[in-house]
Structure formats: C-alpha cells, structure tokens
Amino acid sequence: MLCKKIIPFSYCFTKSVRRSFHVSGNPNYEKPDSAKCVNTNNTVKPPRILITGGLGQLGTECAKLLRRNYGNENVILTDIIKPTKESLENGPFIFADILDFKGLQKIVVDYRIDWLIHFSALLSAVGEQNVPLAVRVNIEGMHNVIELAKQYKLRIFIPSTIGAFGPDSPRNPTPNITVQRPRTIYGVSKVHAELLGEYYHHRFGLDFRCLRFPGVISCDPPGGGTTDYAVAVFHEGLLNKRYECYLEPHTRLPMIYIEDCLSALFQFLNTPDELLRRRVYNVTAMSFTPEELFSELFKHIPDLKITYKPDKRQYIAENWPQVFDDSEARRDWGWRHKYDLERLVKSMVRDVSINFLPKHRLKEVNSYV
C-alpha cells in the first residue's frame, strides 16, 4: 500500500522528500529546515506530532506515512472513535475530544508535541445534517487547537477544502485568492479556520499552514463528503458490479489520489518558512465528472452497471469549483502531482481488491443525506 513506497526517515529528510515525493529541482529545498529540532549535541531529532481526528480517511494513512518517516513513537494518533487493533499496534493512540481543551493540553505537554495536524471535522454532507454539532466541532474545536498551538509554539496544519468556495467564486479555474462565500456550514467553518490561522500568524507569529484539498480518493471509507462517490464506486463496483451515483453524470469536481494528497502535506510541512508566500494554498491533481470516472472504470469492470439518482449533494457540488488553480503551490514550494485519472483508477482497483474487499463492505456511503 501507500506507505510501503515511502522511504524511512533520515536525518537529511529534505533530500529524501525530494526523491520520493517528486519535488521539483528548486535549489532552496536543500536549505536547513527550520522545523528540525536540534539537540545540544548538534544532532537533529524528528518532530513529535499530534494528529486529531486521526482515525478518519486521511488520518489513518497520514499516520502511517509520518511514522515511516519520523518513527512510530513520534506520531500520536487521537480520535473519539474506537480504534481498530491495527491502529493500536502501530504506535501511540489516545482518546482526545477536540472540544476538551485541557485534555489536549495534557497530551501536548506529556508527549512534548512539536507539530499538530488537525483533521477532526464534520464533512460537508454530514455537517448539513447537524449544523449545531458542525459549529461546535469545526469552529469551537478549531479555536481550541489554534490556541494550543499558540501557547506551546507548535507548527499547526489545518486542511481546508474546495468547499471553502461558493456560487460567487469563479469555478473554472478557481484561483488561490478570490471571492469565497460558501453555502455550507462546512465551507463557512473552513473559511473561518483559514482566516483565523492567517490572523494568528500575522499577529502572534504562529506557524500556521493550510492546504485546500479537493476530493481525496483512497480505499479507506470516506467520512460523509460530497466527493465520496469517487471512492464508493470502487467498493460497490468491485463487490456488486453496480453503483447508484448521487451526482449528475456531468458534475465536474477537482480530485486527488491519497498518495498525492499526503505527498503535498508532507512536502508542505517541511518547506522552509521563507519559501511560503502564503499560509493557505490550493492543491489539486485532476478534475473529472462521474461519467468520465466511470468510463475509465469500465476498462477494469466491463459489466459494471451505473444508475444516477441525484440527491442534496448535487446542490453542494454545483456551488463548488470545477477546476482548481494550484499554480501558486507549484511556483512557491514545487508541488507536483503524480496520479492522473488513468493511474488513479488502476491503483484504486488494485488497492480495494487486495486490501479492503475481502474484509469489509461499504454500506453507508450512499445514505448520508
């Protein structure tokens, strides 16, 4: 799977990032990394990282990648849901509710945390079903982690999303800086996080970093977002040879394969501060419609039957970017994607068939709204 392809942590990790994460040849990447912690005997030690919401779609794979690079004990996975046996075996796991400031504070102190990766959130479709809870988790929870990062001088990464844009934004392409005004509580909370993070950076010198991800495609079950169809079709298609899509066939959205998404995150976290002209960057890999994805998938599952039954997620998708402009990330810190549609489909068919299909069934993906 993904992490087998990532080379282990080395003390010259900016070089290893360049090799395994297809980073461009900008000579500045060889500069000393401000993120490295230097001991009194002048050796470099890896950062200690706390991940919130770590048992979700992104957290699980992200923890594997970071543990390969920085050591199992240096990555503390937290969530409020019950971990699998595998999650417990691979490194420290702690219960942590992001609404509990003191609980988080204790983890930061006890484990001497340097970086905080904040993944806890209610995603777009789930957020619309329970707005008060989304406000608490996505806004109050974010207030807790950002305040903690300020107090303890942590580097903090908070992902944003294509959902941070709305019907007034240019949709094809959507530039890094433009009108936002989203129409979901998820989007509103993400714009709030972007602005508060930038404010804390300028006002208090907080090392806040944020990438706006498009729909992330991986073989792990998705968390209730509007782009989930692009994961569900692989599970349902391989298992049952049929899939009912909740978006119209022509609905174009930006997407990224998990390996590229985590490459971007890893590379961005390790980019020296002086190269960052912004704290918030768009990143993407491709844009496709359900129709285009399914026609690529027919090459692998020729007897796949597709039907369409659009639901409320169609409205959300119609107000989101169709094509994401990530040229500023490519210019400033050398972001490059590796997976296009053809390669993505090939990898997903392989990953779902080998790693997921024999063990699980994805029942709930089509029933969020």
* Per-residue contact flags (x/-) with ligand NAD for residues 48 to 77, judged by CB under 6 A: ----xx-xxxxx------------------
Torsion of CA 19, 24, 27, 33, to 10 degrees: -60
Residue 271 binds ligand NAD (CB under 6 A): no
What is the SS3 assignment for 93?
A: strand
Residue 187 binds ligand NAD (CB under 6 A): no
Angle between helices 57-70 and 258-269 (to 10 degrees): 50
Cα–Cα distance measured from residue 210 to residue 158, given in angstroms and rounded to the nearest whole number: 5
Spell out the residues 6+ positions from residue 221 whose beta carbon is closer than 8 angstroms to its own: 57, 231, 235, 360, 362, 365
Residue 207 binds ligand NAD (CB under 6 A): no
Residue 254 binds ligand NAD (CB under 6 A): no
Q: Smaller CB distance to ligand NAD: residue 227 or 271?
A: 227
Indicate which residue of 29, 70, 186, 246 is catalytic.
186
Spell out the residues 6+ positions from residue 282 whose beta carbon is closer than 8 angstroms to its own: 174, 175, 176, 211, 212, 324, 325, 326, 328, 329
As measured in angstroms, the least distance from the Cβ of 27 to ligand NAD is: 31
- Region label for 91, one of left (φ > 0), alpha (ψ between -120 and 50) or beta (otherwise): left
Active site residue 186: yes
The residue sitting closest to ligand NAD, measured at its beta carbon, is 56
Q: Smaller CB distance to ligand NAD: residue 119 or 200?
A: 119
State the sign of the Cα–Cα–Cα–Cα dihedral 182, 184, 185, 189.
negative
Please state the separation of Cα 329 from the chain's center in Å.
16
Cα–Cα distance measured from residue 318 to residue 328, given in angstroms and rounded to the nearest whole number: 25
As measured in angstroms, the least distance from the Cβ of 99 to ligand NAD is: 5
Residue 121 binds ligand NAD (CB under 6 A): yes
Residue 119 binds ligand NAD (CB under 6 A): yes
Torsion of CA 311, 312, 314, 316, to 10 degrees: -160
As measured in angstroms, the least distance from the Cβ of 112 to ligand NAD is: 21
Among positions 216, 265, 280, 349, the unique one binding ligand NAD when judged by CB under 6 A: 216
Residues that bind ligand NAD (rule: CB under 6 A) add up to a total of: 27
Residue 98 binds ligand NAD (CB under 6 A): yes
Q: Smaller CB distance to ligand NAD: residue 137 or 329?
A: 137
Residue 137 binds ligand NAD (CB under 6 A): yes
Backbone angles phi, psi at 285, to 5 degrees: -130, -40
Could you tell me the CA-to-CA distances from 250 to 155, 196, 346 in Å, in that order? 40, 35, 22
Residue 145 binds ligand NAD (CB under 6 A): no
Q: Smaller CB distance to ligand NAD: residue 29 or 58?
A: 58
Burial of 357 (0-12, 13-18, 19+ CB in 10 A): middle
Q: Which strand (E) or helix (H) includes residue 351?
A: helix 341-351
Residue 362 binds ligand NAD (CB under 6 A): no
Cα–Cα distance measured from residue 126 to residue 223, given in angstroms and rounded to the nearest whole number: 8
As measured in angstroms, the least distance from the Cβ of 67 to ligand NAD is: 17
Residue 189 binds ligand NAD (CB under 6 A): no
Among positions 7, 81, 88, 195, the unique one binding ligand NAD when judged by CB under 6 A: 81
Q: Smaller CB distance to ligand NAD: residue 33 or 61?
A: 61
**Applying CB under 6 A, which residues contact ligand NAD?**
52-53, 55-59, 79-81, 97-99, 119-121, 123, 137, 141, 159, 161, 213, 215-216, 223, 225, 227
The residues annotated as belonging to the active site are 186
